[in-house]
């Protein structure tokens, strides 16, 4: 029955040439779930078309055929018909039971994570995603191996988010305070710059519609080498090039809340916004006008004070951001402890020191 | 099914029901007979009480969920509640229900003096309940046995020093954020450390995939020995389970909401007392007494569930 | 017969509920259910327009996929949240029960008023207080959590207007509860002789089922928002994971009310459609008992399915399976009602008045809305569709395309009775057509947007979706135009409409047997009850330009056992 339905209703074959193409209703299907479950959607659709045209058709016919003639009022028609009523109750019931069942089967498969799944840890935050691979590599976008089941173990830093990859037909809420999991298997590598969309689909605040990311499916060999490269990318950069090469990539994670050119955002701009200079200038100046926790930042930074050096203060701002909050802002910044290595933090601080060499979007443009 | 409307055809137009309405000044214009009015009022009150059951019911469900999740919290924190005062309150409420019921009977049998007496006694019981509650609450507030982060503020300087507690952010390794609710205004929470060896006393933070829990705890050094049934500071108690603040949150919410209903009861019973002293209620018309009686019995019933759930079960 | 007030309209009717006492105080302190219904109607319609403006703001922004200067992310989030909260709490939930139900129920039942008129007035003032809280919340900083207030966003973050609006929702909940209490007691205790349960019109069955839900579900909403307020103000730690709480618990509490709430919205609408279809087809409703029982069944089952809003929330797969399976139990009675209405059209004598146009629109739109609920109830397809525009389209088809359309249809159906005026039928049909076409343009495209993967509550979107949004926004303007036209001709009719006869459409239920507008106390003598769907005793009276019911024949026909 399933095979018959599949053959009748699928609009393309599921041979291993590529993802199923986009149809009128559904986007391209790039995972095994799409192949397995799209037919359920289409089947329901056809049943819906049938009942819709049946009901509307009858309605139109009746309204035309039985329209009032003059002021005639008393129309004699049946008040009930047990057989008919039973029929139109039982038949839809049987239909919905069948529909429930096919949906249930697809669901069971989506909830049963294969034992050999490749695990990727996901952190959702306002407003971005961090994907962490078994070797410690992290990435902003999701790279997955083709042909293998992939399991995502997800946690949130702050509020509810939801990870949705529409081409894979998968979605799972990311709940703070616990871990949620989902899995999928994508069999067709993405070509070149092509990617699948990853959306957040649980309202999480201002940037909810601005935390889309990309999903790349790589053939197994390509994926293995990517993961290794990704894990080592920071290590391979020479210290003097850390800020120019690593800075922009790492800054992408900060860009959701911090601008570089003084424009307002959820967090204080790294650029000059209050007259006290850019982030490095205002932290390192001896008598800074920049106020933090009600006092000038210079009271916190310096010999004998809480932070010996401005680097120490900036590092603490990244790892323990709510200890001192810049005046005029709230405690909205999550900690990046565990997500940014010492070297990554060093790269960011270096970038702050050379902020004039970056454009407003965070691209390195060199000294002017 | 409709048995309570009167037949009007014999009266002709316009005069239906006027006889009844003239005879019974308390009969509202849209009711045909006093009996219909009384039955409607009664059904209305029962339906309203059903909504109250759902109202408190949702909180009982919340209680059950919290208790199921952290049973050690409930066993532990129940020690802080004064069972004797709670028991007195229970007796006071039950007695006040009794006087209320006698009052309703008095109204039914036209004993107006007895009615007023019973209403006065019920009112006294209600007020007595509130007074005892006031003492219970203030006693707890003095010990900072409150909700949320207030629970974790040391009560005295000595306590703060004794526990060597610094204002320290609560870290949840799954969340890895260090600040609680910004809109509540408070910024940090202090926690005394339970000894790490006692696993059941620590709220189990889930381990991350890399197997590291990052909850930091302050070692409490040289703390005084703490008695099991504490009058002493809960912060210094090494056996206090984490998340104990949730017990007090649900305690105040449920007993507080119940208390609000008692206050409403005081107002309504007071209004009845005034009316009864003016001779308003008789065997002809005692509907308000009956309905308020129903309300009061349900308020009592809610307390009869609350008392064992909070005070008695350990 | 002198027991009924069917004097010809060209005689001056001595007085009706509108003229009974004059002056603003007589309205503010009125205990007359008809006046209270009118006040509710005005209040609800004003809120509808405010919520509609919010919707147009949202739709206008969505013409552009990227950022625009004239609306920031936060303003957009507040706009759609306000749209949702106003429409759900201030408009749709009270609309039919409080505005139309208050007016029609006692008269249709044969009573002089509801059981507790003062409670009724109090319910109205509670609504006003809730609305004031909602307005205040705008001044206090607005709120942008979505009308669902999910934690921890609503308990930890969000903006300053969140607590005031939650307080407003709490108060509105009690307005709804007291209306429900009133209706239950009225239907049980104030029926005249002969008005058995199975002689009661289906609108009253629907209101009764709705009242059951209002009574049992709304207190849970009250506690939920109260807990959220306490959580937000004091951080007690039940929903906030930092303090040991569970965000998903909030969702369970919230949807335990909010799913039955959607049946508060639709059941009265279905009741109205039963009335409209029967009366304007001049034919006995088909399957009376089924429709009556199905309303109660839907009310009961609606309490068991809340988890189908939470399939991806992290609740256990077992719960997902159970909720999905039970959800179909509420789908079947709704579908069968549609078949019953179709069968009522069969061999009818259908007059295509504006009210009937709305009734037929309902059948069209509810069919789509109901059928699109199926892929949402089915587990594997819902994973893809949840939190996308598909859901938005589905609920607009059932909440707006069905419940609201039914309300407007009912408004037209009972307009002559309420106001004593006839509106212009031609403009009525134009308005209906514009709303119908605009609605489909707006929301049918959203099904496609959703199944193609566009998430909801999105300020920015991928350019590939833009064409759908253009059509959708265009439709929304057409729909808005239709509503404006409707408002205009209805208001116009108050001043210049033809005076309405007692029974312009030929109905046989009791409200058509008193004057239009009704007298202050509805019935001066106890009304006599027949079969409200038996039109054998109804005939057209040329002089009145309306229909007349021969009461003796009507009652006799019922007693001779012609029945359902």
Q: Which residues of B touch A (CB under 8 A)?
A: 169, 172, 174-179, 182, 187, 206, 208-209, 214
Question: Which of C246, C338, C375 is nearest residue A177 as measured by Cβ atoms?
Answer: C246
**Best interface-test mutation with C: which of B147, B152, B185 has the largest number of C CBs within 10 A?**
B147
Average pLDDT over chain B, rounded to whole?
Answer: 75
Buried/exposed code over C475-506 (b: 16+ C-beta within 10 A; e: otherwise): bbebbbebbebbeebbeebeeebeebbbbbbb
Total count of residues recorded for chain C: 564
pTM above 0.95, yes or no: no
Strand pairing of A161-165 and A295-296? unpaired
Q: Verify that B70 and B217 share a domain, yes or no.
A: no
- The Cα–Cα gap between A149 and C34 comes to 64
- The Cα–Cα gap between A321 and A336 comes to 9
Q: Verify that B162 and B257 share a domain, yes or no.
A: yes
Residues of C within 8 A of B184 (CB-CB) are 232-235
- The Cα–Cα gap between A363 and A206 comes to 24
Q: Could you tell me which residues are beta bridge partners of residue C106?
A: none
User: Which H/E stretch holds residue B266?
Assistant: helix B245-277
Question: Which of A63, A73, A81 is nearest residue C547 as measured by Cβ atoms?
Answer: A73
- Against chain C, the chains showing at least 3 CB pairs within 8 Å are A, B
- The Cα–Cα gap between A259 and A246 comes to 17
User: Which H/E stretch holds residue A130?
Assistant: strand A128-132
- The Cα–Cα gap between C510 and C527 comes to 8
Residue by residue, DSSP assigns A31-44 as: SHHHHHHHHHHHHH
C24 phi and psi angles, rounded to 5 deg: -65, -35
CA angle A238, A239, A243 (to 5 degrees): 100
The reply to whether C1 falls in a domain is: no
| Integer angstrom CA distances of residue C481 from A229, C56, C96, C438, C469 | 59, 11, 23, 9, 18
Task: Check A89 against C332: CB less than 8 A apart.
Answer: yes
Q: Verify that B202 and B277 share a domain, yes or no.
A: no
Identify the pLDDT of residue C17.
87
The reply to whether B31 falls in a domain is: no
Identify the pLDDT of residue C562.
53
In chain C, the number of structural domains is 1
- Partner A contacted by C2 (CB < 8 A): no
Identify the pLDDT of residue A136.
84
Identify the pLDDT of residue C244.
81
Residues of C within 8 A of B52 (CB-CB) are 219
Q: Verify that B279 and B296 share a domain, yes or no.
A: yes
Task: Check A330 against B182: CB less than 8 A apart.
Answer: yes
Identify the pLDDT of residue B160.
66
- The Cα–Cα gap between C87 and C72 comes to 22
The reply to whether C307 falls in a domain is: yes
Question: Which of B176, B179, B206 is nearest residue A338 as measured by Cβ atoms?
Answer: B176
pLDDT tens profile A94-109: 999 999 999 999 999 9
CA-based nearest residue in chain B for residue C232: B184
3-state secondary structure of A216: strand
The reply to whether B35 falls in a domain is: no
Identify the pLDDT of residue A367.
78
pLDDT tens profile A266-310: 789 999 888 888 899 888 888 888 888 888 888 888 888 888 899
Nearest to C156 by CA among A258, A207, A331, A201: A331
Q: Output the CA torsion A59→A64→A70→A75 (10° steps).
A: -40
The reply to whether C118 falls in a domain is: yes
Nearest to A190 by CA among A213, A223, A162: A223
Instruction: Determine if the peptide bond prior to B122 is cis (ω within 30°).
Output: no
The reply to whether B236 falls in a domain is: yes
- Check: CB of residue B243 under 8 Å from CB of residue B75: no
Buried/exposed code over B91-108 (b: 16+ C-beta within 10 A; e: otherwise): ebbebbbebbebbbbbbe
The residue-averaged pLDDT of A161-166 equals 96
Identify the pLDDT of residue B313.
82
- The Cα–Cα gap between B114 and B282 comes to 12
Q: Could you tell me which residues are beta bridge partners of residue C549?
A: C538
Handedness of CA B59, B65, B66, B68 (dihedral sign): positive
The residue-averaged pLDDT of B51-58 equals 94
Residues of A within 8 A of B175 (CB-CB) are 155-158, 176-177
User: Which H/E stretch holds residue A283?
Assistant: helix A279-284
Task: Give the pLDDT band of residue B221 (cuts 50, 70, 90).
Answer: very low
CATH of the domain at C276: 1.20.210.10
pLDDT tens profile C18-42: 888 888 998 999 999 999 999 999 9
Q: Verify that B186 and B158 share a domain, yes or no.
A: no
Nearest to C1 by CA among C537, C545, C564: C537
The reply to whether C15 falls in a domain is: no
The reply to whether C161 falls in a domain is: yes
- Check: CB of residue B105 under 8 Å from CB of residue B115: no
B262 phi and psi angles, rounded to 5 deg: -65, -40
The reply to whether C417 falls in a domain is: yes
- Per DSSP, chain B holds a count of helices (H) and strands (E) of 8, 0
Task: Check A204 against C378: CB less than 8 A apart.
Answer: no
pLDDT surpassing 70 at residue B183: no
User: Which H/E stretch holds residue C52?
Assistant: helix C33-61
pLDDT surpassing 50 at residue B206: no
Question: Which of C116, C158, C193 is nearest residue B2 as measured by Cβ atoms?
Answer: C193
Identify the pLDDT of residue A368.
66
Q: Verify that B89 and B51 share a domain, yes or no.
A: yes
Identify the pLDDT of residue A246.
87
Residues of B within 8 A of C195 (CB-CB) are 2
Nearest to B66 by CA among C251, C245, C233: C245
The residue-averaged pLDDT of B9-31 equals 63
Identify the pLDDT of residue C15.
80
Task: Give the pLDDT band of residue A15 (cuts 50, 70, 90).
Answer: very low
- Check: CB of residue C289 under 8 Å from CB of residue C198: yes
Domains parsed from chain A with CATH numbers? 2-111 (1.10.287.90), 118-230 (2.60.40.420), 237-357 (1.10.760.10)
Q: Verify that B135 and B262 share a domain, yes or no.
A: yes
3-state secondary structure of C389: helix
Handedness of CA C534, C539, C544, C550 (dihedral sign): negative
- Distance between terminal CA atoms of chain A? 69
The reply to whether B7 falls in a domain is: no
Residue B204: count of CB within 10 angstroms of its CB: 9
pLDDT tens profile B123-172: 999 999 999 999 999 988 888 888 877 777 777 776 666 655 443 334 44
CATH of the domain at B138: 1.20.120.80
Specify burial of residue C73 (Cβ count, 10 A radius: 0-12, 13-18, 19+). Answer: middle
Q: Verify that B152 and B182 share a domain, yes or no.
A: no
Identify the pLDDT of residue B177.
36
Query: DSSP H helical segments within C302-424, as ranges?
Result: 317-345, 354-371, 373-377, 379-385, 389-395, 405-419
Total count of residues recorded for chain B: 314
Question: Which of B30, B51, B181 is nearest residue C219 as measured by Cβ atoms?
Answer: B51
- The conformation of residue B231, written as its DSSP 8-state character, comes to S
Residues of B within 8 A of C220 (CB-CB) are 54-55, 57-58
Q: Verify that B63 and B78 share a domain, yes or no.
A: yes
Residue after which a domain boundary falls, among B184, B199, B223? B223
- Partner B contacted by A135 (CB < 8 A): no
- Check: CB of residue C41 under 8 Å from CB of residue C99: yes
Residue after which a domain boundary falls, among B200, B223, B246? B223
3-state secondary structure of C58: helix
Residue by residue, DSSP assigns C507-532 as: --SGGGGS-SSPPTTS-SS------T
- Against chain B, the chains showing at least 3 CB pairs within 8 Å are A, C
Residue B281: count of CB within 10 angstroms of its CB: 26
Residues of C within 8 A of A215 (CB-CB) are none
Q: Verify that B158 and B265 share a domain, yes or no.
A: yes
B130 Cα to chain C: minimum distance (Å): 22
Q: Verify that B88 and B154 share a domain, yes or no.
A: yes
Ranges of chain C with pLDDT below 50 = 1-13, 563-564
The reply to whether B183 falls in a domain is: yes
User: Which H/E stretch holds residue B249?
Assistant: helix B245-277
Q: What percent of chain B has pLDDT over 90?
A: 45
Residues of A within 8 A of B172 (CB-CB) are 177
Strands ordered across the beta sheet of A149-156: A138-139, A128-132, A118-125, A149-156, A180-185
Task: Check C189 against B4: CB less than 8 A apart.
Answer: yes
The interaxial angle of helices C317-345 and C354-371, nearest 10 deg, is: 150
B1 Cα to chain A: minimum distance (Å): 24
3-state secondary structure of A170: strand
Domain interval for residue C304? 35-559
In chain B, the number of structural domains is 2
Residues of A within 8 A of C535 (CB-CB) are 73-75
3-state secondary structure of A163: strand
Residues of A within 8 A of C402 (CB-CB) are none
Identify the pLDDT of residue C416.
96
Q: Verify that B134 and B248 share a domain, yes or no.
A: yes
- Check: CB of residue B241 under 8 Å from CB of residue B70: yes
3-state secondary structure of C211: helix
Identify the pLDDT of residue A73.
76
- Partner B contacted by A338 (CB < 8 A): yes
ipTM of the complex: 0.91
The reply to whether B38 falls in a domain is: no
- Which residues touch A299 (CB under 8 Å, ≥6 apart)? A305
Identify the pLDDT of residue C65.
95
The residue ranking higher by pLDDT, C76 or B232, is: C76
The reply to whether C340 falls in a domain is: yes
Identify the pLDDT of residue B278.
92
Residue B212: count of CB within 10 angstroms of its CB: 9
The reply to whether C496 falls in a domain is: yes
Nearest to C455 by CA among A152, A212, A253: A212
Task: Check C244 against B65: CB less than 8 A apart.
Answer: no
- Check: CB of residue B282 under 8 Å from CB of residue B112: yes
Identify the pLDDT of residue C23.
87
Task: Give the pLDDT band of residue A84 (cuts 50, 70, 90).
Answer: very high
Identify the pLDDT of residue A3.
53
Domain interval for residue B187? 176-223
Task: Check B29 against C521: CB less than 8 A apart.
Answer: yes
Identify the pLDDT of residue B161.
66
Specify burial of residue C558 (Cβ count, 10 A radius: 0-12, 13-18, 19+). Answer: buried
E strands, C250-297, in order: none
């Amino acid at each position: 029955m399933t095979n018959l339905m599949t053959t009748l209703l699928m609009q393309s074959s599921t041979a291993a040439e590529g993802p199923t193409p986009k149809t009128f209703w559904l986007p391209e299907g790039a995972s095994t779930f799409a192949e397995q479950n799209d037919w359920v959607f289409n089947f329901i659709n056809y049943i819906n078309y049938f009942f819709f045209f049946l009901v509307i058709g009858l309605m139109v016919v009746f309204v035309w055929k039985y329209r009032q003639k003059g002021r005639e009022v008393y129309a004699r028609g049946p008040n009930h018909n047990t057989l008919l009523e039973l029929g139109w109750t039982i038949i839809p019931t049987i239909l919905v039971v069948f529909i429930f069942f096919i949906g249930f089967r697809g669901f069971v498969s989506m909830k049963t994570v294969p034992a050999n799944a490749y695990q990727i840890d996901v952190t959702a935050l306002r407003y971005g995603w961090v994907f962490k691979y078994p070797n410690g590599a992290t990435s902003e976008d999701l790279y997955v191996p083709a042909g293998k089941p992939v399991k995502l173990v997800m946690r949130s830093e702050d509020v509810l988010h939801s990870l949705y990859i529409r081409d894979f037909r998968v979605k799972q809420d990311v709940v703070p305070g616990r871990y949620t999991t989902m899995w999928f298997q994508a069999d067709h590598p993405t070509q070149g710059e092509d990617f699948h969309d990853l959306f957040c689909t649980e309202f999480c605040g201002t940037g909810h519609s601005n935390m889309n990311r990309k999903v790349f499916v790589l053939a197994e060999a390509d994926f293995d080498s990517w993961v290794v490269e990704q894990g080592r990318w920071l290590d391979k950069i020479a210290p003097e090039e850390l800020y120019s090469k690593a800075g922009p990539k790492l800054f992408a994670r900060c860009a959701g809340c911090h601008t570089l050119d003084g424009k307002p955002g959820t967090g204080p701009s790294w650029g000059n916004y209050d007259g006290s200079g850019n982030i490095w200038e205002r932290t390192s100046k001896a008598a800074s006008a920049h106020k933090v926790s009600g006092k000038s930042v210079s009271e916190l930074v310096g010999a004998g004070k809480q932070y010996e050096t401005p680097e120490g203060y900036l590092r603490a701002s990244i790892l323990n951001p709510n200890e001192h909050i810049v005046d005029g802002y709230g405690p909205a910044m999550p900690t990046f402890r565990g997500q940014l290595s010492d070297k990554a933090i060093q790269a960011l601080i270096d970038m702050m020191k050379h902020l004039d060499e970056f454009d407003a979007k965070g691209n390195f443009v060199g000294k002017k | 099914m409709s048995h309570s409307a009167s037949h009007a055809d014999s009266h002709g137009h316009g005069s239906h029901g006027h006889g009844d309405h003239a005879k019974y000044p308390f009969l509202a214009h849209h009711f045909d007979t006093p009996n219909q009015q009384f039955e409607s009022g009664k059904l209305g009150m029962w339906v309203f009480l059903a909504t109250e059951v759902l109202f408190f019911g949702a909180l009982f469900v919340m209680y059950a969920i919290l208790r199921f999740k952290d049973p050690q919290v409930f066993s532990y924190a129940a020690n802080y509640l004064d069972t004797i005062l709670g028991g007195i309150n229970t007796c006071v409420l039950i007695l006040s229900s009794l006087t209320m019921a006698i009052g309703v009977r008095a109204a039914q049998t036209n004993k107006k003096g007895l009615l007023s007496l019973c209403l006065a006694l019920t009112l006294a019981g209600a007020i007595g309940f509130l007074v005892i509650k006031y003492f219970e609450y203030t006693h707890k507030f003095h010990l900072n046995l409150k909700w949320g982060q207030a629970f974790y503020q040391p009560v005295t300087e000595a306590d703060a020093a004794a526990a060597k507690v610094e204002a320290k952010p609560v870290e949840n390794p799954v969340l890895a954020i260090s600040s609680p609710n910004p809109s509540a205004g408070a910024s940090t929470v202090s926690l005394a450390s339970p000894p790490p060896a006692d696993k059941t006393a620590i709220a189990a933070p889930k381990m991350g995939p890399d197997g590291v829990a990052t909850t930091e705890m302050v070692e409490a050094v040289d703390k005084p020995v703490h008695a099991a049934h504490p009058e002493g500071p809960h912060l210094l108690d090494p056996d206090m389970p984490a998340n104990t603040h949730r017990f007090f949150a649900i305690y105040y919410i449920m007993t507080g909401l119940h208390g609000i209903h008692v206050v409403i009861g005081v107002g309504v019973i007071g209004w009845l007392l005034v009316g009864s002293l003016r001779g308003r209620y008789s065997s002809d018309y005692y509907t308000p007494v009956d309905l308020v009686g129903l309300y009061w019995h349900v308020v009592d019933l809610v307390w009869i569930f609350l008392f064992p759930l909070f005070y008695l079960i350990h | 017969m002198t027991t009924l007030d069917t004097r010809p309209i060209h005689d001056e009717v001595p007085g009706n509920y509108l003229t009974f006492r004059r002056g603003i105080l007589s309205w503010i302190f009125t205990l007359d259910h008809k006046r209270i219904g009118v006040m509710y109607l005005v209040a609800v319609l004003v809120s509808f327009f405010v919520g509609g403006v919010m919707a147009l703001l949202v739709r206008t922004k969505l013409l552009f996929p990227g950022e625009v200067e004239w609306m920031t992310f936060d303003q957009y989030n507040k706009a759609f949240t306000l749209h949702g909260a106003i429409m759900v709490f201030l408009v749709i939930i009270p609309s039919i029960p409080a505005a139309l139900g208050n007016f029609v129920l006692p008269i249709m039942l044969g009573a002089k008023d509801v059981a507790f008129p003062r409670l009724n007035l109090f319910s109205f003032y509670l609504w006003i207080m809730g609305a004031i809280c909602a307005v205040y919340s705008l001044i206090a900083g607005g709120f942008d959590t979505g009308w669902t207030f999910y934690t921890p966003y609503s308990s930890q973050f969000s903006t300053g207007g969140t607590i005031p609006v939650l307080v407003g929702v709490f108060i509105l909940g009690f307005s709804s509860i007291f209306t429900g209490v009133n209706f239950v007691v009225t239907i049980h205790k104030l029926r005249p002789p002969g008005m058995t349960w199975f002689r009661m019109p289906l609108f009253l069955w629907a209101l009764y089922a709705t009242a059951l839900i209002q009574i049992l579900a709304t207190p849970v909403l009250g506690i939920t928002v109260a807990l959220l307020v306490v959580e937000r103000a004091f951080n007690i730690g039940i929903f906030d994971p930092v303090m040991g709480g569970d965000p998903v618990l909030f969702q369970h509490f919230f949807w335990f009310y909010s799913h039955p709430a959607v049946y508060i919205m639709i059941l009265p609408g279905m009741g109205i459609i039963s009335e409209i279809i029967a009366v304007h087809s001049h034919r006995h409703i088909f399957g009376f008992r089924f429709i009556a029982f199905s309303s109660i069944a839907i009310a009961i089952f609606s309490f068991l399915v809340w988890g189908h809003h939470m399939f991806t929330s992290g609740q256990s797969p077992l719960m997902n399976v159970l909720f999905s399976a039970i959800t179909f139990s509420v789908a079947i009675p709704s579908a069968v009602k549609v078949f019953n209405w179709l069968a009522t059209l069969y061999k009818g004598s259908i007059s295509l008045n504006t009210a009937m146009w709305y009734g037929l629109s309902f059948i069209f739109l509810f069919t789509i809305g109901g059928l699109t609920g199926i892929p949402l109830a089915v587990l594997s397809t819902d994973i893809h569709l949840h939190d996308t525009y598909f859901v938005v389209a589905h609920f607009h088809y059932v909440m707006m395309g069905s419940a609201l359309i039914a309300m407007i249809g009912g408004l037209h159906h009972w307009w002559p009775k309420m106001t004593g005026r006839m509106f212009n039928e031609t403009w009525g049909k134009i308005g209906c057509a514009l709303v119908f076409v605009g609605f489909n343009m707006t929301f049918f495209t959203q099904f496609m947007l959703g199944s193609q993967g566009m998430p909801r509550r999105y300020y920015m979107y991928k350019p590939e979706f833009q064409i759908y949004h253009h059509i959708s926004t265009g439709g929304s303007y057409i729909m808005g135009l239709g509503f404006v036209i409707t408002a205009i001709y209805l208001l116009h009719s108050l001043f210049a409409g033809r005076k309405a006869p007692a029974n312009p459409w030929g109905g046989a239920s009791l409200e058509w047997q008193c004057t239009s507008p009704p007298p202050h106390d509805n019935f001066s003598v106890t009304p006599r009850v027949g079969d409200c769907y038996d039109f054998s005793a109804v005939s057209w009276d040329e002089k009145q330009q309306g229909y007349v019911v021969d009461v003796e024949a009507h009652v006799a026909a019922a007693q001779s056992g012609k029945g359902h």
